[in-house]
Amino acid sequence: MQTSDLRIALFSGNYNYVRDGANQALNRLVGYLLSQGASVRVYSPTVAEPAFVATGDLVSIPSVSIPFRPEYRLPLTLSAKVRRDLEAFNPNILHISSPDRVSRKAVKWSKKRHLPVLCSVHTRFETYLRYYNLAFMEPVLEAWIRRLYRKCDALVAPSESFAQVLREQRMNYDIDIWSRGVDREIFNPSQRDMAWRRALGIADDMPVIGFLGRLVMEKGLDVFSDTIDQLKRRNVPHQVVVIGDGPARPWFESRIPDAKFAGFQVGSDLGRAVASMDIFFNPSVTEAFGNVTLESMASGLPVVAAKATGSQSLVEDKVSGRLIAPGAINQFADALQAYCLDKDFRAQHGAAGAQRSLDFSWDAINQTVADTYIRLIRQHAARAAAER
């Protein structure tokens, strides 16, 4: 069997209506699979004005806005119309990418037809509860997710560290690695633009601490702002630049009023903004893979990040950045201070990160998912033959 023989039904909770690292990876995967001759059909909630144009054929799933987070949508049901579309498409493998109700129904549909199921895990959903004062519910949510993941034939995780977390949680024991790549035409040190910095009112010799990502509390905005407060109390020279937008922007602006908020950036504008920073600070613990961390490394920045699944497979502590215990404000401040005060030190670690980023090629990474599809299909066929 070859990649061109694949017929993949892909279920996503958010394929293109709000831009994030997970759906960017899924769209890149679909683009690669289509380029190799595979057939792909994507099923996801849709909106009238999505964040970007979907790659491949997209079928709309019935959905409603999520309370208190209306920019996101909750898939409701595997409707009769969608079921007919699935039947007509006739996939030979199912791929789910979020543990929602529709994914569960899709898995049930596939099991009745003896189709293998792959689940890609993009984030630690259970950790989100910590940001809504519901941490006590984590074991319940973890168990609910486990029931779905154990019904899948295999999982793919974006890093070995996250795969190990999934094994420890007994989510599944067949876990491959689907890492992430970086577009080096966009993210590289040559995109640095001092004129862009000056237009924001930043002096050439002022060290810039950058934040890149969607402005939601799950990204560790509280830890970020508390750490910046600590730097101010120490009189450490610095300027914060925030790239991104989201519902928590007003709160974040009020907490770091001296920061430069450059808004949402894409493409070459994003590459210029990242390369024009000096240090990247990522205190988040919710990501399964640090896309923004890898992009910052490719841009030649040292990274100060939480020692969590999103960054610890990328950043080598004391070589290309610092990995700090989650929430350790003073230690985060110590790491940032060292980079702010020593230009040569941050250049050395930034260069090491840029070298490490060369290991992440999108085509090779996406072929590993195609190979996993093929393996699961062959295993299913072998089991079926043995049972006859």
Tokens of 187: 């993210």
Query: Does residue 132 share a domain with residue 35?
Result: yes
E strands in the chain: 7-11, 39-44, 57-60, 63-66, 69-75, 93-96, 117-120, 154-157, 175-177, 208-212, 239-243, 260-263, 279-282, 303-306, 321-324
pTM, two decimal places: 0.71
Query: Does residue 118 share a domain with residue 9?
Result: yes
Query: Does residue 347 share a domain with residue 308?
Result: yes
C-alpha radius of gyration, the chain, whole number: 21
Q: Cα(241)–Cα(342) distance, rounded to whole angstroms? A: 19
User: Which residue is listed with tokens 């939601």?
Assistant: 216
Q: Cα(196)–Cα(172) distance, rounded to whole angstroms? A: 47
Q: Cα(295)–Cα(290) distance, rounded to whole angstroms? A: 9
CATH number of the structural domain spanning residue 325: 3.40.50.2000
Q: Please return the burial class of 382, using the count of CB atoms within 10 Å of its CB with bins 0-12, 13-18 and 19+.
A: exposed
Q: Cα(215)–Cα(222) distance, rounded to whole angstroms? A: 11
Calculate mean pLDDT across residues 87-95.
97
Taking the CB of residue 194, how many other CB atoms lie within 10 A of it? 10
pLDDT at position 179 is: 85
Assess whether pLDDT exceeds 90 at residue 158. Answer: no
Kindly tell me the number of DSSP H helices and DSSP E strands found in the chain.
13, 15
Q: Please return the burial class of 74, using the count of CB atoms within 10 Å of its CB with bins 0-12, 13-18 and 19+.
A: middle
**With bands split at pLDDT 50, 70 and 90, how would you rate the model's confidence at 97?**
very high
pLDDT at position 159 is: 82
Judged by DSSP in three states, 54 sits in coil
Query: Does residue 252 share a domain with residue 126?
Result: no
Q: Cα(266)–Cα(239) distance, rounded to whole angstroms? A: 22
pLDDT at position 131 is: 59
Higher pLDDT, 56 or 160: 56
Assess whether pLDDT exceeds 70 at residue 217. Answer: yes
Sort strands 7-11 and 39-44 into parallel, antiparallel or unpaired.
parallel
Calculate mean pLDDT across residues 195-205.
96
pLDDT at position 123 is: 74
Calculate mean pLDDT across residues 317-339.
96
The total domain count for the chain is 2
Tokens of 265: 């950036």
pLDDT at position 86 is: 96
pLDDT at position 128 is: 57
Domain that holds residue 99: 3-181+361-387
Q: Residue length, the chain?
A: 388
pLDDT digits (tens, 9 = 90+) for 268-280: 999 999 999 999 9
Calculate mean pLDDT across residues 277-302.
89
Query: Does residue 176 share a domain with residue 116?
Result: yes
Assess whether pLDDT exceeds 60 at residue 90. Answer: yes
Query: Does residue 221 share a domain with residue 139?
Result: no
Q: Phi, psi (5° rounding) for residue 360?
A: -110, 95
In DSSP terms, 157 is beta-bridged to 177
**With bands split at pLDDT 50, 70 and 90, how would you rate the model's confidence at 96?**
very high
Higher pLDDT, 364 or 317: 317
Query: Does residue 217 share a domain with residue 351?
Result: yes
Side-chain-side CA neighbours of residue 191 (13 Å): 24
Query: Does residue 365 share a domain with residue 352?
Result: no
Query: Does residue 137 share a domain with residue 199?
Result: no
**With bands split at pLDDT 50, 70 and 90, how would you rate the model's confidence at 243?**
very high
Q: Cα(133)–Cα(109) distance, rounded to whole angstroms? A: 36
Calculate mean pLDDT across residues 30-50.
96
Query: Does residue 126 share a domain with residue 39?
Result: yes
Query: Does residue 161 share a domain with residue 194?
Result: no
Average pLDDT, rounded, for the chain: 91
CB 95 within 8 A of CB 10: yes
- Dihedral sign (CA 371, 373, 377, 383): positive
Assess whether pLDDT exceeds 60 at residue 242. Answer: yes
Query: Does residue 195 share a domain with residue 310?
Result: yes
pLDDT at position 136 is: 66
pLDDT digits (tens, 9 = 90+) for 121-157: 987 655 655 555 666 667 787 888 899 999 999 999 9
Give residue 102's identity as a one-letter amino acid code. V
